[in-house]
Amino acid sequence: MTRTILAALALAIGCDAEETPPPREPLNLAIAIDTSGSMLGPSIEHVRRGLATMAASLGPDDRVTLVTFSDAAHVHVEAVAGDSAELRAAIDAVQATGQTNVYAGLRAAFEATERHADPQRRNRVVLLSDGQATTGLVHDPRLLTMARAYGAVGLPLHTIGVGLEFDPQLLRGLAERGGGTFHPVEDPAAVVHAFAIEALARAEAPPGG
Amino acid sequence: MPRIDVARLARPAAQVLGAAIALLCCIAKADGEAPSIVRGHVDDGVCAPPDDGLRLAWSVPLPTGSFVLDAIDIGRDGCLALSLHGVAQPWFLCVSEDALPFAVGDAIAIESVYAAGLEGVRLFDESRQLVVTRGASTPAIDDVQWSIEPMPACEVAVEPTCGTVGRAMRLRVQSEAFGDGVLRGGGDPLRLRSSDGRTLRIESAAVHERVAFDPECAFGPDAAGMDIELAVTTEVR
Protein backbone atom coordinates (compact mmCIF):
# COMPACT_ATOMS: atom_id res chain seq x y z
CA MET A 1 0.00 0.00 0.00
CA THR A 2 2.68 2.43 1.06
CA ARG A 3 4.82 1.61 -1.95
CA THR A 4 1.84 2.13 -4.23
CA ILE A 5 1.19 5.55 -2.79
CA LEU A 6 4.87 6.42 -3.02
CA ALA A 7 4.98 5.39 -6.65
CA ALA A 8 1.91 7.52 -7.36
CA LEU A 9 3.46 10.47 -5.60
CA ALA A 10 6.69 10.06 -7.50
CA LEU A 11 4.82 9.94 -10.78
CA ALA A 12 2.81 12.98 -9.81
CA ILE A 13 5.92 15.07 -9.39
CA GLY A 14 7.62 13.67 -12.44
CA CYS A 15 10.42 11.67 -10.86
CA ASP A 16 11.11 8.06 -10.01
CA ALA A 17 11.53 7.48 -6.29
CA GLU A 18 13.45 4.28 -6.98
CA GLU A 19 16.22 6.05 -8.89
CA THR A 20 19.28 7.47 -7.22
CA PRO A 21 18.74 11.21 -7.39
CA PRO A 22 21.33 13.36 -9.12
CA PRO A 23 22.94 16.21 -7.19
CA ARG A 24 20.44 18.88 -6.38
CA GLU A 25 20.41 22.54 -5.50
CA PRO A 26 20.34 23.37 -1.80
CA LEU A 27 16.97 24.05 -0.25
CA ASN A 28 15.37 26.92 1.53
CA LEU A 29 12.47 24.90 2.86
CA ALA A 30 9.73 25.65 5.35
CA ILE A 31 7.50 22.86 6.57
CA ALA A 32 4.18 23.69 8.19
CA ILE A 33 2.76 20.77 10.14
CA ASP A 34 -0.79 20.45 11.42
CA THR A 35 -0.38 19.38 15.04
CA SER A 36 -4.03 19.69 16.04
CA GLY A 37 -5.57 17.16 18.39
CA SER A 38 -6.70 14.92 15.55
CA MET A 39 -3.06 14.15 14.85
CA LEU A 40 -2.61 12.56 18.27
CA GLY A 41 -1.36 9.00 18.34
CA PRO A 42 0.08 7.17 15.35
CA SER A 43 -0.35 10.11 12.97
CA ILE A 44 2.01 12.43 14.81
CA GLU A 45 4.47 9.58 15.22
CA HIS A 46 4.40 9.03 11.46
CA VAL A 47 5.00 12.74 10.96
CA ARG A 48 8.04 12.70 13.26
CA ARG A 49 9.42 9.67 11.45
CA GLY A 50 8.71 11.32 8.12
CA LEU A 51 10.51 14.49 9.11
CA ALA A 52 13.46 12.48 10.39
CA THR A 53 13.58 10.51 7.12
CA MET A 54 13.56 13.76 5.18
CA ALA A 55 16.21 15.30 7.41
CA ALA A 56 18.47 12.33 6.73
CA SER A 57 18.48 13.35 3.07
CA LEU A 58 19.41 16.95 3.79
CA GLY A 59 22.84 18.44 3.99
CA PRO A 60 24.66 21.34 5.61
CA ASP A 61 23.81 23.68 2.72
CA ASP A 62 20.08 23.15 3.08
CA ARG A 63 18.11 25.58 5.22
CA VAL A 64 15.01 24.34 6.98
CA THR A 65 12.27 26.06 8.94
CA LEU A 66 9.88 23.93 10.96
CA VAL A 67 6.50 25.40 11.86
CA THR A 68 3.71 23.62 13.67
CA PHE A 69 0.18 24.90 14.01
CA SER A 70 -2.72 23.97 16.24
CA ASP A 71 -4.47 26.75 18.18
CA ALA A 72 -1.62 28.98 17.03
CA ALA A 73 1.56 28.78 15.00
CA HIS A 74 4.91 27.93 16.52
CA VAL A 75 8.22 28.32 14.72
CA HIS A 76 10.43 25.60 16.21
CA VAL A 77 13.53 26.39 14.17
CA GLU A 78 14.13 28.88 11.38
CA ALA A 79 16.57 28.43 8.53
CA VAL A 80 18.77 25.94 10.35
CA ALA A 81 21.12 23.61 8.50
CA GLY A 82 19.48 20.47 7.16
CA ASP A 83 21.86 18.21 9.03
CA SER A 84 21.81 20.16 12.29
CA ALA A 85 21.13 18.83 15.75
CA GLU A 86 18.71 21.72 16.20
CA LEU A 87 16.49 20.39 13.45
CA ARG A 88 16.58 16.88 14.84
CA ALA A 89 15.70 18.15 18.30
CA ALA A 90 12.85 20.23 16.88
CA ILE A 91 11.47 17.20 15.06
CA ASP A 92 11.57 15.16 18.26
CA ALA A 93 9.66 17.91 20.06
CA VAL A 94 6.65 17.96 17.73
CA GLN A 95 3.48 17.24 19.70
CA ALA A 96 -0.23 17.27 18.84
CA THR A 97 -2.97 19.19 20.65
CA GLY A 98 -5.71 21.76 20.08
CA GLN A 99 -7.45 23.09 16.97
CA THR A 100 -6.31 23.75 13.39
CA ASN A 101 -5.04 27.26 12.65
CA VAL A 102 -3.94 26.77 9.04
CA TYR A 103 -3.62 30.48 8.25
CA ALA A 104 -1.23 31.23 11.09
CA GLY A 105 0.93 28.21 10.35
CA LEU A 106 1.07 28.79 6.64
CA ARG A 107 1.76 32.49 6.96
CA ALA A 108 4.59 31.86 9.42
CA ALA A 109 6.08 29.34 7.00
CA PHE A 110 5.79 31.69 4.02
CA GLU A 111 7.27 34.61 5.92
CA ALA A 112 10.22 32.58 7.13
CA THR A 113 10.86 31.29 3.62
CA GLU A 114 10.72 34.80 2.22
CA ARG A 115 13.08 36.14 4.90
CA HIS A 116 15.67 33.60 3.80
CA ALA A 117 14.82 33.49 0.10
CA ASP A 118 17.89 32.82 -1.97
CA PRO A 119 18.04 32.57 -5.76
CA GLN A 120 20.72 29.92 -5.42
CA ARG A 121 18.37 27.66 -3.48
CA ARG A 122 15.07 25.96 -4.09
CA ASN A 123 12.69 28.07 -2.05
CA ARG A 124 9.55 26.19 -1.14
CA VAL A 125 6.91 25.56 1.50
CA VAL A 126 5.35 22.21 2.32
CA LEU A 127 2.06 22.10 4.22
CA LEU A 128 0.71 18.94 5.86
CA SER A 129 -2.77 18.77 7.33
CA ASP A 130 -5.27 16.08 8.26
CA GLY A 131 -8.23 18.39 8.75
CA GLN A 132 -9.87 21.69 8.01
CA ALA A 133 -9.19 25.19 9.26
CA THR A 134 -11.12 25.49 12.53
CA THR A 135 -9.61 28.52 14.22
CA GLY A 136 -7.74 31.67 13.33
CA LEU A 137 -8.58 33.08 9.94
CA VAL A 138 -10.88 30.39 8.61
CA HIS A 139 -12.10 32.06 5.41
CA ASP A 140 -10.76 29.61 2.82
CA PRO A 141 -10.57 32.07 -0.10
CA ARG A 142 -8.24 34.23 1.98
CA LEU A 143 -5.95 31.23 2.41
CA LEU A 144 -6.00 30.77 -1.35
CA THR A 145 -5.17 34.42 -1.84
CA MET A 146 -2.17 34.02 0.43
CA ALA A 147 -0.92 30.97 -1.47
CA ARG A 148 -1.27 32.81 -4.78
CA ALA A 149 0.47 35.92 -3.46
CA TYR A 150 3.54 34.05 -2.22
CA GLY A 151 3.57 31.72 -5.20
CA ALA A 152 3.72 34.75 -7.46
CA VAL A 153 7.02 35.82 -5.89
CA GLY A 154 8.64 32.43 -6.33
CA LEU A 155 7.66 30.66 -3.13
CA PRO A 156 5.70 27.62 -4.31
CA LEU A 157 3.46 25.71 -1.92
CA HIS A 158 3.18 21.95 -1.89
CA THR A 159 0.42 20.36 0.18
CA ILE A 160 0.00 16.93 1.71
CA GLY A 161 -3.43 15.84 2.90
CA VAL A 162 -3.37 12.96 5.35
CA GLY A 163 -6.15 10.50 6.13
CA LEU A 164 -9.79 10.84 5.16
CA GLU A 165 -10.90 13.97 6.95
CA PHE A 166 -8.77 16.70 5.36
CA ASP A 167 -10.30 19.33 3.14
CA PRO A 168 -9.29 18.25 -0.39
CA GLN A 169 -10.77 21.31 -2.02
CA LEU A 170 -8.72 23.62 0.16
CA LEU A 171 -5.44 21.69 -0.04
CA ARG A 172 -5.75 21.19 -3.78
CA GLY A 173 -6.64 24.84 -4.23
CA LEU A 174 -3.70 25.97 -2.12
CA ALA A 175 -1.29 23.93 -4.21
CA GLU A 176 -2.82 25.12 -7.47
CA ARG A 177 -2.76 28.78 -6.46
CA GLY A 178 0.66 28.37 -4.93
CA GLY A 179 2.23 26.80 -8.00
CA GLY A 180 2.99 23.51 -6.28
CA THR A 181 1.55 20.03 -6.05
CA PHE A 182 -1.14 18.42 -3.93
CA HIS A 183 -0.63 14.92 -2.59
CA PRO A 184 -3.41 13.12 -0.79
CA VAL A 185 -2.04 10.37 1.43
CA GLU A 186 -4.80 8.11 2.65
CA ASP A 187 -2.54 5.89 4.70
CA PRO A 188 -0.89 7.99 7.45
CA ALA A 189 2.08 5.64 7.41
CA ALA A 190 2.92 6.89 3.92
CA VAL A 191 3.69 10.27 5.43
CA VAL A 192 7.03 8.83 6.48
CA HIS A 193 8.18 9.10 2.88
CA ALA A 194 5.94 11.88 1.60
CA PHE A 195 8.03 14.61 3.22
CA ALA A 196 11.21 13.45 1.59
CA ILE A 197 9.51 13.26 -1.78
CA GLU A 198 8.02 16.72 -1.44
CA ALA A 199 11.08 18.38 0.03
CA LEU A 200 13.48 16.97 -2.52
CA ALA A 201 11.23 17.07 -5.58
CA ARG A 202 13.01 18.78 -8.42
CA ALA A 203 10.51 18.32 -11.18
CA GLU A 204 8.86 21.69 -11.44
CA ALA A 205 10.59 24.60 -9.82
CA PRO A 206 13.96 25.94 -10.97
CA PRO A 207 16.38 27.31 -8.40
CA GLY A 208 15.02 30.44 -6.92
CA GLY A 209 11.51 29.55 -7.80
CA MET B 1 -22.46 2.26 1.04
CA PRO B 2 -21.18 5.12 -1.11
CA ARG B 3 -21.47 8.58 0.43
CA ILE B 4 -23.72 11.07 -1.27
CA ASP B 5 -22.37 14.58 -1.24
CA VAL B 6 -25.50 16.64 -0.83
CA ALA B 7 -23.57 19.87 -1.31
CA ARG B 8 -22.32 18.77 -4.71
CA LEU B 9 -25.81 17.76 -5.75
CA ALA B 10 -27.18 21.08 -4.55
CA ARG B 11 -24.71 23.18 -6.52
CA PRO B 12 -25.94 22.34 -10.01
CA ALA B 13 -29.49 22.71 -8.74
CA ALA B 14 -28.66 26.19 -7.49
CA GLN B 15 -27.06 27.05 -10.80
CA VAL B 16 -30.15 25.91 -12.70
CA LEU B 17 -32.32 27.84 -10.27
CA GLY B 18 -30.08 30.85 -10.70
CA ALA B 19 -30.33 30.75 -14.45
CA ALA B 20 -34.09 30.39 -14.23
CA ILE B 21 -34.41 33.37 -11.91
CA ALA B 22 -32.16 35.45 -14.11
CA LEU B 23 -34.34 34.54 -17.06
CA LEU B 24 -37.48 35.52 -15.16
CA CYS B 25 -35.89 38.82 -14.20
CA CYS B 26 -35.07 39.36 -17.83
CA ILE B 27 -38.59 38.59 -18.94
CA ALA B 28 -40.02 40.95 -16.34
CA LYS B 29 -37.62 43.70 -17.37
CA ALA B 30 -38.24 43.23 -21.06
CA ASP B 31 -41.89 44.14 -20.45
CA GLY B 32 -43.30 42.50 -23.49
CA GLU B 33 -40.18 42.39 -25.59
CA ALA B 34 -38.75 39.09 -26.73
CA PRO B 35 -36.75 37.68 -23.77
CA SER B 36 -33.03 37.18 -23.91
CA ILE B 37 -30.69 35.77 -21.27
CA VAL B 38 -29.46 38.53 -19.01
CA ARG B 39 -25.74 38.07 -18.63
CA GLY B 40 -25.09 41.27 -16.79
CA HIS B 41 -21.49 42.39 -16.64
CA VAL B 42 -19.80 39.68 -14.61
CA ASP B 43 -16.51 40.34 -16.35
CA ASP B 44 -16.79 44.04 -15.77
CA GLY B 45 -15.13 45.17 -12.56
CA VAL B 46 -17.93 47.60 -11.82
CA CYS B 47 -20.70 45.02 -11.93
CA ALA B 48 -18.74 41.96 -10.81
CA PRO B 49 -19.81 39.99 -7.76
CA PRO B 50 -17.58 40.19 -4.67
CA ASP B 51 -14.17 38.56 -4.97
CA ASP B 52 -14.22 35.98 -2.18
CA GLY B 53 -10.45 36.05 -1.98
CA LEU B 54 -10.52 39.72 -1.09
CA ARG B 55 -13.35 39.71 1.43
CA LEU B 56 -12.80 41.43 4.75
CA ALA B 57 -11.82 38.90 7.38
CA TRP B 58 -10.30 38.58 10.82
CA SER B 59 -8.99 35.75 12.89
CA VAL B 60 -10.84 34.17 15.77
CA PRO B 61 -10.89 34.11 18.71
CA LEU B 62 -11.01 37.88 18.80
CA PRO B 63 -8.68 39.42 21.40
CA THR B 64 -11.03 41.85 23.13
CA GLY B 65 -9.85 44.48 25.60
CA SER B 66 -7.13 47.13 25.72
CA PHE B 67 -3.73 46.60 24.16
CA VAL B 68 -0.62 48.37 23.00
CA LEU B 69 0.25 47.71 19.38
CA ASP B 70 3.70 46.16 19.41
CA ALA B 71 4.01 45.54 15.68
CA ILE B 72 2.06 45.69 12.44
CA ASP B 73 3.12 43.37 9.65
CA ILE B 74 1.57 43.28 6.22
CA GLY B 75 1.45 39.94 4.48
CA ARG B 76 1.76 39.52 0.75
CA ASP B 77 -1.93 38.64 0.79
CA GLY B 78 -2.67 42.10 2.13
CA CYS B 79 -3.78 40.92 5.55
CA LEU B 80 -2.41 42.74 8.58
CA ALA B 81 -0.83 40.88 11.49
CA LEU B 82 -1.27 42.97 14.60
CA SER B 83 1.01 42.05 17.48
CA LEU B 84 -0.73 43.08 20.66
CA HIS B 85 1.24 43.46 23.86
CA GLY B 86 0.48 40.56 26.16
CA VAL B 87 -1.04 38.41 23.43
CA ALA B 88 1.17 35.53 22.40
CA GLN B 89 0.09 35.29 18.78
CA PRO B 90 -0.57 37.99 16.19
CA TRP B 91 -4.14 38.82 15.39
CA PHE B 92 -4.91 38.86 11.67
CA LEU B 93 -7.13 41.44 10.06
CA CYS B 94 -7.71 41.51 6.32
CA VAL B 95 -8.33 45.14 5.45
CA SER B 96 -6.12 47.48 3.52
CA GLU B 97 -3.22 49.06 5.35
CA ASP B 98 -4.71 52.53 4.79
CA ALA B 99 -7.84 51.57 6.69
CA LEU B 100 -5.94 51.14 9.94
CA PRO B 101 -5.68 54.51 11.71
CA PHE B 102 -3.17 53.27 14.28
CA ALA B 103 0.59 52.90 14.46
CA VAL B 104 3.04 50.85 16.47
CA GLY B 105 3.04 52.03 20.08
CA ASP B 106 -0.57 53.17 20.10
CA ALA B 107 -2.88 52.04 22.88
CA ILE B 108 -6.09 50.70 21.39
CA ALA B 109 -9.20 48.82 22.43
CA ILE B 110 -10.78 45.98 20.49
CA GLU B 111 -14.36 44.82 20.76
CA SER B 112 -16.85 42.73 18.84
CA VAL B 113 -19.64 44.34 16.88
CA TYR B 114 -22.96 42.60 16.68
CA ALA B 115 -26.12 44.11 15.29
CA ALA B 116 -29.12 42.97 13.31
CA GLY B 117 -27.80 41.33 10.19
CA LEU B 118 -24.13 41.94 10.71
CA GLU B 119 -21.05 41.01 12.68
CA GLY B 120 -17.78 42.81 12.97
CA VAL B 121 -14.92 44.20 14.98
CA ARG B 122 -14.13 47.66 16.24
CA LEU B 123 -10.66 49.01 17.00
CA PHE B 124 -10.61 52.39 18.67
CA ASP B 125 -9.04 54.92 20.96
CA GLU B 126 -10.28 58.33 22.08
CA SER B 127 -10.13 59.98 18.67
CA ARG B 128 -9.97 57.24 16.05
CA GLN B 129 -11.75 54.09 15.16
CA LEU B 130 -11.86 51.36 12.56
CA VAL B 131 -15.12 49.45 12.26
CA VAL B 132 -15.07 46.37 10.04
CA THR B 133 -18.37 44.62 9.38
CA ARG B 134 -19.86 41.98 7.16
CA GLY B 135 -23.42 40.82 6.75
CA ALA B 136 -26.70 41.99 5.30
CA SER B 137 -26.74 45.52 6.68
CA THR B 138 -24.61 48.58 7.35
CA PRO B 139 -23.00 49.50 10.66
CA ALA B 140 -24.14 52.33 12.89
CA ILE B 141 -21.60 55.13 12.58
CA ASP B 142 -22.16 58.53 14.19
CA ASP B 143 -23.52 61.07 11.76
CA VAL B 144 -23.47 58.66 8.83
CA GLN B 145 -26.62 57.68 6.95
CA TRP B 146 -26.48 54.84 4.46
CA SER B 147 -28.70 54.12 1.52
CA ILE B 148 -28.36 51.28 -0.95
CA GLU B 149 -29.18 51.66 -4.60
CA PRO B 150 -28.56 49.65 -7.77
CA MET B 151 -25.39 50.31 -9.69
CA PRO B 152 -26.36 51.99 -12.94
CA ALA B 153 -26.02 49.65 -15.93
CA CYS B 154 -25.51 46.58 -13.74
CA GLU B 155 -28.12 43.92 -14.29
CA VAL B 156 -29.00 40.71 -12.55
CA ALA B 157 -26.37 38.15 -13.46
CA VAL B 158 -25.38 34.59 -12.67
CA GLU B 159 -21.98 34.18 -11.08
CA PRO B 160 -20.38 31.12 -12.71
CA THR B 161 -18.58 29.45 -9.78
CA CYS B 162 -21.49 28.88 -7.42
CA GLY B 163 -24.41 29.94 -9.55
CA THR B 164 -25.21 32.90 -7.32
CA VAL B 165 -27.78 35.18 -8.87
CA GLY B 166 -27.38 38.79 -7.93
CA ARG B 167 -26.58 42.29 -8.97
CA ALA B 168 -24.10 44.92 -7.96
CA MET B 169 -25.37 47.73 -5.76
CA ARG B 170 -23.74 50.83 -4.40
CA LEU B 171 -23.80 52.68 -1.11
CA ARG B 172 -24.71 56.30 -0.81
CA VAL B 173 -23.24 57.94 2.26
CA GLN B 174 -24.75 61.08 3.74
CA SER B 175 -23.33 63.00 6.65
CA GLU B 176 -23.85 66.50 7.98
CA ALA B 177 -20.22 66.82 8.96
CA PHE B 178 -18.54 64.93 6.13
CA GLY B 179 -20.87 65.57 3.23
CA ASP B 180 -22.08 62.99 0.75
CA GLY B 181 -20.44 60.33 -1.36
CA VAL B 182 -20.97 57.03 -3.15
CA LEU B 183 -18.93 53.83 -3.19
CA ARG B 184 -19.24 50.35 -4.62
CA GLY B 185 -18.00 46.96 -3.51
CA GLY B 186 -14.41 46.32 -4.52
CA GLY B 187 -13.98 49.87 -5.74
CA ASP B 188 -11.79 52.70 -4.60
CA PRO B 189 -12.30 53.79 -1.01
CA LEU B 190 -14.43 56.82 -0.32
CA ARG B 191 -12.69 59.63 1.56
CA LEU B 192 -14.59 62.53 3.05
CA ARG B 193 -13.32 65.33 5.24
CA SER B 194 -15.17 67.51 7.71
CA SER B 195 -14.61 71.19 8.21
CA ASP B 196 -13.17 70.54 11.67
CA GLY B 197 -10.38 68.35 10.33
CA ARG B 198 -11.83 64.88 10.79
CA THR B 199 -11.68 62.29 8.05
CA LEU B 200 -14.07 59.53 7.14
CA ARG B 201 -12.71 56.71 5.00
CA ILE B 202 -14.84 53.84 3.80
CA GLU B 203 -13.75 50.84 1.81
CA SER B 204 -15.99 48.02 0.74
CA ALA B 205 -15.30 44.46 -0.35
CA ALA B 206 -18.95 43.76 -1.15
CA VAL B 207 -22.14 45.64 -1.88
CA HIS B 208 -24.19 43.06 -3.68
CA GLU B 209 -27.78 41.92 -3.69
CA ARG B 210 -28.23 38.19 -3.95
CA VAL B 211 -31.46 36.83 -5.29
CA ALA B 212 -30.52 33.16 -5.07
CA PHE B 213 -27.41 31.33 -3.96
CA ASP B 214 -26.07 28.00 -2.77
CA PRO B 215 -25.04 28.34 0.87
CA GLU B 216 -22.80 25.28 0.54
CA CYS B 217 -20.74 27.02 -2.10
CA ALA B 218 -21.10 30.78 -1.88
CA PHE B 219 -19.55 32.96 0.80
CA GLY B 220 -21.29 35.86 2.48
CA PRO B 221 -24.44 36.05 4.62
CA ASP B 222 -26.50 32.92 5.22
CA ALA B 223 -29.65 34.30 3.62
CA ALA B 224 -30.49 35.90 0.30
CA GLY B 225 -30.56 39.66 0.29
CA MET B 226 -27.78 42.17 0.76
CA ASP B 227 -24.16 41.10 1.05
CA ILE B 228 -22.22 44.04 2.47
CA GLU B 229 -18.67 44.26 3.77
CA LEU B 230 -17.31 47.57 4.99
CA ALA B 231 -14.27 48.98 6.73
CA VAL B 232 -15.04 52.43 8.10
CA THR B 233 -12.27 54.60 9.49
CA THR B 234 -12.80 57.86 11.32
CA GLU B 235 -9.96 59.93 12.68
CA VAL B 236 -8.67 63.41 13.31
CA ARG B 237 -5.94 64.53 10.95
Alpha-carbon gap: A56 to the closest alpha carbon of chain B (Å) = 32
Shortest CB distance from A144 goes to which of B53, B79, B81?
Answer: B53
pLDDT score, position A45: 92
Report d(CA A98, CA A40) in Å as an integer.
10
pLDDT score, position B39: 41
Q: Over the range B11-34, which residues count as b (16 or more CB within 10 Å of their CB) and which as e?
A: beebbebbbebbbebbeeeeeeee
- Cβ <8 Å between A148 and B55: no
Beta bridge partners of A29: A64, A124
> How many beta carbons lie within 10 A of that of residue A49, not counting itself?
16
Residue B61, preceding peptide bond in cis (omega within 30° of 0): yes
pLDDT score, position A188: 78
For chain B, the average pLDDT equals: 85
Which residues of chain A are modeled with pLDDT < 50? 1-17, 203-209
- Cβ <8 Å between B89 and A137: no
Report d(CA B71, CA B83) in Å as an integer.
5
Shortest CB distance from B60 goes to which of A136, A142, A146?
Answer: A136
Alpha-carbon gap: B104 to the closest alpha carbon of chain A (Å) = 20
Contacts of A72 in chain B (CB under 8 A): 88-89
In chain B, the percentage of residues whose pLDDT exceeds 90 is 78
**Closest among A77, B96, B54, B93 to B108, alpha carbons compared:** B93
Q: What is the rounded end-to-end Cα distance, in angstroms, of chain B?
A: 65
- Cβ <8 Å between B92 and A111: no
Lowest-confidence range among A13-27, B146-160, B178-192? Answer: A13-27
- Cβ <8 Å between B76 and A72: no
Contacts of B60 in chain A (CB under 8 A): 135-138
**Closest among A138, A152, A154 to A106, alpha carbons compared:** A138
Q: For B60, name the nearest residue in chain A, comparing CA atoms only.
A: A136
pTM of the model: 0.84
Contacts of A144 in chain B (CB under 8 A): 53
Which of B3, B55, B59, B219 to probe by mutation at the A interface, max A CB count within 10 Å? B59
Confidence label for B219 from pLDDT (cuts 50, 70 and 90): very high
pLDDT score, position B44: 55
- Cβ <8 Å between A135 and B60: yes
pLDDT digits (tens, 9 = 90+) for B59-89: 999 999 999 999 999 999 999 999 999 999 9
pLDDT score, position B237: 57
Contacts of A132 in chain B (CB under 8 A): none
Lowest-confidence range among B53-57, B159-163, B188-192? Answer: B159-163
> What does DSSP assign to residue B98?
G
Alpha-carbon gap: B106 to the closest alpha carbon of chain A (Å) = 24
